[in-house]
Chain A
Amino acid sequence: MSTDTPGSKATPPEETRPDAPSSAVPEAPAAAPTDPAAVTSGELDDAGEVVEGEAVGLAELAESPAPALEDQARGDLVATRQGLFGNTDTGDTSGFRGLQVSVVIDVPTERPYGGWFDEVVDILAEVLEDNGIAYGAAVRKVVVDRGELTLEIAREHLVTVCRLLRDEQDLRFDLSLGVSGVHYPEDAGRELHAVYHLRSITNGPRLLRLEVAVPDADPHVPSTTNVYPVNDWHERETWDFFGIIFDGHPGLARIAMPDDWVGHPQRKDYPLGGIPVEYKGATVPPADQRRSYR
Chain B
Amino acid sequence: MGRGIEEQAPGFALGAIGDIVGLARKASMWPVTMGLACCAIEMMATGTPRFDISRFGMEVFRASPRHADLMIVSGRLSQKMAPIVRQVYDQMSEPKWVLSMGACASSGGMFNNYAIVQGVDHVVPVDIYLPGCPPRPEMLLNAILELHEQVKKAPLGARRDEIARRVEAAALAATPTHAQKGLLA
Min Cβ gap B151→A in Å is 29
Taking a contact as CB atoms under 8 Å apart, the answer to whether A258 and B79 are in contact is yes
B184 contacts the other chain (CB 8 A): yes
Per-position binary interface string of chain A over residues 251-281, scored 1 when its CB falls under 8 Å from any chain B CB and 0 otherwise: 0000011100100010000011111011111
Q: Which of A256, A280, A286 contacts B184 (CB 8 A)?
A: A280
Task: Show the binding face of A for B, using Cβ within 8 Å.
Answer: 256-258, 261, 265, 271-275, 277-283, 286-287
Task: Show the binding face of B for A, using Cβ within 8 Å.
Answer: 79-80, 108, 112-115, 118, 176-185
Min Cβ gap A151→B in Å is 33
For the complex, what is the distance from the CA of A275 to the CA of B114, rounded to whole Å? Answer: 9
Chain A contact residues: over half helix, strand or loop, or mixed?
loop
Contacts of A261 in B (CB 8 A): 79
Taking a contact as CB atoms under 8 Å apart, the answer to whether B114 and A272 are in contact is yes
From known contacts A256-B80, A257-B80, A258-B79, infer whether A279 and B184 are also in contact, taking CB-CB under 8 Å.
Answer: yes
Q: Which of B79, B177, B181 contacts A278 (CB 8 A)?
A: B177
For the complex, what is the distance from the CA of A278 to the CA of B175, rounded to whole Å? Answer: 12
Min Cβ gap B65→A in Å is 22
Taking a contact as CB atoms under 8 Å apart, the answer to whether A277 and B112 are in contact is yes
Taking a contact as CB atoms under 8 Å apart, the answer to whether A282 and B80 are in contact is no
Known: A275-B112, A280-B182. 19 other contacts (CB 8 A): A256-B80, A261-B79, A265-B114, A271-B114, A272-B112, A274-B113, A275-B108, A277-B112, A279-B177, A280-B177, A280-B178, A280-B185, A281-B179, A281-B181, A281-B182, A281-B184, A282-B178, A282-B184, A286-B112
- Could you list some 24 contacts between A and B, CB below 8 A? A256-B80, A257-B80, A258-B79, A265-B114, A272-B114, A273-B115, A274-B112, A274-B113, A275-B108, A275-B118, A277-B112, A278-B177, A279-B177, A279-B184, A280-B177, A280-B184, A281-B178, A281-B179, A281-B180, A281-B183, A281-B184, A281-B185, A282-B178, A282-B185
